[in-house]
Amino acid sequence: MITELEKEVAFRFLKTRKNDGFLNIISVFSFIGISLGVAVLIIVMSVMNGFRTELINKIVGFNAHAVVQQSEKPATITNVSDFEEIIISNDGEAVILNNNNTKGVFLKGYLENDFRNLKIANNKKYFGSKKLNGNSISIGRELSINLNVNISDTITVLSPAGIQTLVGSLPKQENFKIISIFDSGLSDYNENIAYINLNTLESFFNKSEIDRFIEFYFKNPKNIEMQKEKLKNFFPDALIYTWADMNNSLFSALKVERNVMFIILSLIIIVAAFNIISGLTILVKNKTRDIGILKSIGVTNKSIKKIFFLVGFSIGTLATLFGVIVGILFSIYLENIRQFISNIFGITLFPEDIYILNSMPSEININSIVIISFCSIITTILVSIYPASKASSLDTVKTIKYE
């Protein structure tokens, strides 16, 4: 337990004095360094968590949660409550031509009624008709910009499936009318994905019903590994892949990057915390006479140790709390700050074509904040032990005699 005397003396040592100028500077830098380290760590972790969550939501909302490459499905599959929807699809790669513009795309084919039920066709950024029949096509926002086309325009699509002519095999090509423009929130998808009718796609690529896929949409797509195991029971011999499998390398890279950033930025806190050792060491030197007087009136070595430990602990704890507040506030208003800086200096801080998201995400995670705060305070405790022990070991007679 810490007595009232120990608290009072520690508080007096914390108060600034004119003759402690250099000591005050070190204390201020220790406080600022720890606060900045904690704040930056919280902001970076919030951005990393937000980026991962936003990416998952975009991918899950745009893609099928799981795909089974098998021609038929058992009749009992629809009785499983975990499945929100089951859709038949097919796909193929093609080239789109429009005047002097050419772009390779990945075509996905759905029946008209199935396409109407897709999340991509029901968000606020979907413009146009949902009647995906005949030679109609739905393209992404970036793709429409690159091809310089709009709704109702006609584009030419080339298929790698050849047709036999007098001069040999030539790529099949057909004209498609753009019925809608969608925005998935991921620029990479908007630029490389297009939708056409399932029957049209199979005719265009010379595919049959055997080549079709079964797409599954779950009520809880984030728990995808458990859902995948259930699908394996229904389709023991089929090829099954999920949204997590298709983006495994991306999320693995994000996890490694987040852990590395945590370790690197933690060094800021450690370096700043070591300033506390310098500050307390100088404080012990300046207060040598005071320590001798305290010991002469009966204050024990243990109490002296507690006093100086409390000084270092107070600086570290207050700095950590201040850093947490600053970090949380920055994380909440991060996108507003980004837009403000971009407008003032005319620079792009979060280019959409690189980060595939149109806004800077941020997600405050309580567990991350607790871990960061705990590490910061533990570091402060560790660096405060040595100067406090040094102060308690001073000889009472010598301190009074020579000071």
- Angle, vertex CA 400, rays to CA 397 and CA 403, nearest 5: 135
Cβ(93)–Cβ(160) below 8 Å: yes
Supply the pLDDT for residue 118.
87
In a domain, 236, yes or no: no
Which residues are paired to 218 by β-bridges? 83
Instruction: Verify that 30 and 125 share a domain, yes or no.
Output: no
Region 266-271: mean pLDDT is 79
| Dist CA 104 CA 95 (whole Å) | 4
At which of 165, 196, 218 does a domain end?
218
For residues 241 and 13, which has the higher predicted lDDT (pLDDT)?
241
Supply the pLDDT for residue 326.
92
- SS3 label, residue 159: strand
Q: Please, what sign has the CA dihedral across residues 80, 82, 84, 90?
A: negative
In a domain, 234, yes or no: no
Two tokens, residue 311 = 């000084």
Cβ(380)–Cβ(273) below 8 Å: yes
Residue 339 dihedral angles phi and psi, to the nearest 5°: -65, -40
In a domain, 259, yes or no: yes
Cβ(77)–Cβ(217) below 8 Å: no
In sequence order, which residues have a C-beta less than 8 Å from that of residue 8 and are 6 or more positions away?
none
Instruction: Verify that 351 and 300 share a domain, yes or no.
Output: yes
In a domain, 69, yes or no: no
At which of 195, 218, 241 does a domain end?
218
Supply the pLDDT for residue 307.
80
| Dist CA 324 CA 365 (whole Å) | 12
- Which residues span the domain enclosing 163? 83-218
| Dist CA 91 CA 207 (whole Å) | 9
Supply the pLDDT for residue 105.
92
In a domain, 158, yes or no: yes
At which of 218, 233, 258 does a domain end?
218
pLDDT at 216 over 90: no
The count of domains in the chain is 2
Instruction: Verify that 89 and 141 share a domain, yes or no.
Output: yes
Instruction: Verify that 320 and 264 share a domain, yes or no.
Output: yes
Region 289-311: mean pLDDT is 76
pTM comes to 0.68
